[in-house]
Amino acid sequence: KLPTMKMLLLLVALLSVALLASAAPPTCYSRVLSLSKEITESFKELQTSKTVDSCVEMLPRLYLDIHNYCVLAKLRDFVAYPGCDRVVEVNELKEKARSLYTILISYCRRDLVFLTDDCNALEIPISLPIEHS
């Protein structure tokens, strides 16, 4: 009877740990990282879309690296850009950028470490090397 009880307790403990691990709230860092990737991808899609207004070509580049201190200025510039207010996708992107900026300067201010302040690195994204098979 004792080994069965130990096995049952072990099973309950393992299930509890698994449930807690999957239900853990996102950290500030993980939220900022995922939102910056989402914004960067949305911007790329917007740039390549055929149906969007021509003003999109004039928007400031929006490659984001949350480890670069210049990302704050990049977000401010993008949100403040006066053009394309009539394009819904741009307004949605600006709203996401505004949210990311707020999270960076308010909620995550003490949790993030900027590794660089190279503003030029945010102008030309580093492309990943192409792997040859």
Note the pLDDT tens digit of each residue in 44-102: 888 888 777 788 888 888 888 888 889 999 999 999 998 788 888 899 999 999 999 99
The sign of the CA dihedral 60, 123, 64, 113 is: negative
pTM, entire model: 0.70
For 66, counting Cβ atoms within 10 Å of its Cβ (0-12 exposed, 13-18 middle, 19+ buried), the class is buried
Query: Residues 89-103: pLDDT tens digits?
Result: 899 999 999 999 999
Where along the chain do its domains lie?
A: 27-122
Question: What's the length of the chain?
Answer: 133
Q: What is the structure's pLDDT at 128?
A: 43
Give the residue among 88, 84, 111 at the shortest CA–CA distance from 30: 111
User: 84: left (phi > 0), else alpha (psi -120 to 50), else beta?
Assistant: left
- DSSP bridge partners of 67: none
Query: Residues 3-39: pLDDT tens digits?
Result: 776 777 777 776 666 555 555 456 888 888 999 999 9
